[in-house]
Structure 1
């Protein structure tokens, strides 16, 4: 997927995104398998997996719906959960919907109709967020603007900072990196969403089928080894605000000690 700034398949940064560099390390750990890379959107990826094509991706959220057609590996990495990426002005406008822990009530915000939010077509955030936003995805001219195709993070960040839209649902790592390239990282805020975990997990996933049985076992083994290596962890730290490093590293210790939390 070409999803700057987390994946580059063209241009001067080709192969230098987080997912590109992670995939390099994963493939290098599985030399006995013949593997190739193909560019594909998340929508097309889901279609191919449902059709049973022999295809995998290393950074998927794990949901009950996806478990029907995807086999998941051990967790590849921890990441901060999806939240609202917005500005100080919008945060002030929505103060009534923020609890004492600084978490935003997404359901109340959407019901109020006070804000316009950027959503991404067919993207699965978490079961909590998916359940809240699904009815609004079907409403024409509702509070959600559905971004189709590959996200252009630079453009989306500009639209928020220039107040074309109020906020975007997303992960801080992918969005703050785009803001950094625009030298606007100090103007963008990350607000956690009520009901979300303090952190979430991403998994490698392959379409179901007899073809993947041995591969999934070897893939999980490789991931368990990789996710504790400093060079693998540093890829994440390099792509998130420095103020989040301490919290991320605290959770990292669980992975190193073999206590990677299990979630669905």
Structure 2
């Protein structure tokens, strides 16, 4: 009789233990946070994946701001290329990008925020500050005139597109000794060293990219960035998530945060810390006149470059 009672008690204990484990598992899954996978790309100064400025890139900071204001989600970072990102979007995976440039192909596969998260200044030129007099129209330089009339030598990245207007000018001067195309690693750093040594007269590049390299190489005020007449348009990036119910829910939260935070000094400083003093005034005008007023419906024909 004692043996039977012991066996029954043992069976009850095992049953209770199993039920408790089931309830614990159920409770954990019921209260577990949903997770967003945020995409990182190795593209400083938009993403900085190593070094003393790790995590301080433009899109790094935008992503972090969104994460801090979405505590109801868990957040994970993954370094993947954009082809893989779009594949994950098509499959409805819980992945988002904080600042993706729009194309018609991407709009067919991803849900974009109605207002931009990111503003990228147009490609301009970097010159030595003490040679400013060689560029008299320094607020409205023409790349074509610099190459074809003033006979100044430009440094560019080989096989890189700078946008159709500038690409057309470079193509007209293809093979000219006035166009030096650099390839390999650390392209902009190498071009900057050539500029400082007087081997080229100016560099074609993004002011944000230039600001990052200038800071990294500690060149101070010895170089400045100036705009190009043929390329004055700022480009916008938008948050992107899958085109499904989950993506729409996340996007609602993203847009709420953007409406609250974009018109703050903290948000604007994400971009300005990578710009030289000469670019700040132009950037602030564009930030107020275009970025804060821009919406997806107002700019439906914009092409993307990222």
TM-score normalised according to structure 2 size: 0.61
Alpha-carbon deviations, 1:144-171, whole Å to 9, x = none?
Answer: 626467x565444324323455443322
CA distance in 2, matches of 1:63, 1:90: 39
* Unpaired segments ≥5 residues, structure 2: 1-40
* Structure 1 residue 63: Cα displacement: 5.3
Aligned match of 2:213:
178
Over 3 Å counting, the alpha-carbon distance change for 1:215 and 1:244 in structure 2 is same
Secondary structure in 1 aligned to 2:79?
A: coil
Over 3 Å counting, the alpha-carbon distance change for 1:143 and 1:156 in structure 2 is closer
Matched, 1:104 2:141: yes
Given that 1:49 and 1:70 are in contact with CA atoms closer than 8 Å, whether structure 2 keeps it comes out as no
Given that 2:126 and 2:202 are in contact with CA atoms closer than 8 Å, whether structure 1 keeps it comes out as yes
* Structure 1 residue 106: Cα displacement: 3.0
Alpha-carbon deviations, 1:68-92, whole Å to 9, x = none?
Answer: 6665432114443211223368876
Greater C-alpha Rg: 2
Over 3 Å counting, the alpha-carbon distance change for 1:50 and 1:189 in structure 2 is same
Aligned match of 1:81:
122
Over 3 Å counting, the alpha-carbon distance change for 1:114 and 1:60 in structure 2 is farther
Residue correspondences, number: 251
CA distance in 1, matches of 2:235, 2:50: 28
Aligned match of 1:196:
231
Secondary structure in 1 aligned to 2:78?
A: coil
1:237 corresponds to which of 272, 281, 284: 272
CA distance in 1, matches of 2:107, 2:176: 30
CA distance in 2, matches of 1:76, 1:111: 38
Given that 1:119 and 1:168 are in contact with CA atoms closer than 8 Å, whether structure 2 keeps it comes out as no
Given that 2:121 and 2:206 are in contact with CA atoms closer than 8 Å, whether structure 1 keeps it comes out as yes
TM-score normalised according to structure 1 size: 0.69
* Structure 1 residue 9: Cα displacement: 1.3
Structure 1, 157-166 or 23-32: larger mean CA deviation: 157-166
Matches within 5 A, 1:205-244: 205-206=239-240, 209-210=243-244, 212-244=247-279
CA distance in 2, matches of 1:192, 1:223: 28
Higher relative contact order, structure no. (Cα contacts within 8 Å, ≥ 6 residues apart): 1
CA distance in 1, matches of 2:143, 2:202: 11
Over 3 Å counting, the alpha-carbon distance change for 1:104 and 1:251 in structure 2 is closer
Secondary structure in 2 aligned to 1:38?
A: strand
Matches within 5 A, 1:78-157: 78-87=119-128, 100=137, 102-107=139-144, 115-119=153-157, 125-126=162-163, 128-129=165-166, 143=179, 145=181, 147=183, 153-157=188-192
